Amino acid sequence: MAVVRVRQHVNPLANKYQTPADPLEWEKIYLQPNQPLHLDIGCARGQFLLKMAQIEPDWNFLGLEIREPLVVEANKLRSELGLTNLHYLFCNVNNSLNSLLSSLTPGTLQRVTIQFPDPWFKNRHAKRRVVQPELVVELANYLAVGGTVFLQSDQEFIAVEMRDRFRENPAYQKLGAEEWLAENPLPIPTEREIGTMKKGEPVYRALFVKR
Ligand SMILES: C[S@@+](CC[C@H](N)C(=O)[O-])C[C@H]1O[C@@H](n2cnc3c(N)ncnc32)[C@H](O)[C@@H]1O
């Protein structure tokens, strides 16, 4: 399999990423559009969803990613495997969620994952991080009651920032008494997670449920 080469980071605040994605026609992208939807934000090459879609055929999966060549490649692989419950979309999540999710049947969005988002270490780059307070609010508007948000990172300061942004919003309840989850509740690890675990480094994880 040829692996497409792309820039490691793109700046989501750059002019070329300011056009929101067009609304999705759900019945064109999924065979069964009314199945519960799992949204993976910053899916990169999409390997996590590719496996999830195969083990959970009664869910639909949507991966959002700002690096377009990765999306093209991931959709190609999806088509080669003939998966009808999986789609990848090129967009900047920070300006596209409303347009994407407003046409969704209410109650459909039941799981959101944000895994190992780009940390943008410098304070002056903090606005480039994907988990902004507005994103937390937008997700609350579309997530079904009882739906979950799973967050994980190998960078403690990013894990704290995103966890606190969800924790501060009364629409969500954090699950588990511990500061961080001991284990990933999902059956498939992401590429970044596999790399981190191989190095024996810690992963900071939190799970929220929509009230
Ligand atoms: C470090 S990678 C993690 C990939 C994968 N979730 C994993 O755990 O292996 C973060 C991904 O988020 C994407 N990303 C960053 N900002 C984004 C944005 N505003 N909208 C969509 N994708 C974004 C990046 O291009 C990158 O592919």
Cα 205 to chain centroid distance, Å, stands at 14
Q: Which domain holds residue 56?
A: 29-210
Q: Is residue 74 part of a domain?
A: yes
Q: Tell me whether residue 48 is in a domain.
A: yes
Given 22, 40, 118, 154, the catalytic residue:
118
- Helix, strand, coil shares, percent, the chain, to 5: 35, 20, 45
By alpha-carbon position, which residue is closest to atom 4 of ligand 1? 44
Whether 164 is covered by a domain: the verdict is yes
The CATH number assigned to the domain holding 52 equals: 3.40.50.150
Residue type, 168: E
pLDDT in tens, the chain (211 residues): 567 888 788 999 999 999 999 999 999 999 999 999 999 999 999 999 999 999 999 999 999 999 999 999 999 999 999 999 999 999 999 999 999 999 999 999 999 999 999 999 999 999 999 999 999 999 999 999 999 999 999 999 999 999 999 999 999 999 999 999 999 999 999 999 999 999 999 999 999 999 9
Give the distance (Å) from ligand 1 centre to CA of residue 121: 15
Q: How many structural domains is the chain composed of?
A: 1
Residue 6 is assigned to a structural domain of this protein: no
**CA neighbor of 112 nearest in space, from 37, 200, 17:** 37
All residues at 6 or more sequence positions from 87 whose CB lies less than 8 Å from its CB, including other chains? 29, 30, 60, 61, 62, 63, 75, 78
**94 close to ligand 1 (CB < 6 Angstrom):** yes
116 lines ligand 1 (CB under 6 A): yes
Is 76 inside any structural domain?
yes
Q: For this structure, is 118 an active site residue?
A: yes
In a domain, 193, yes or no: yes
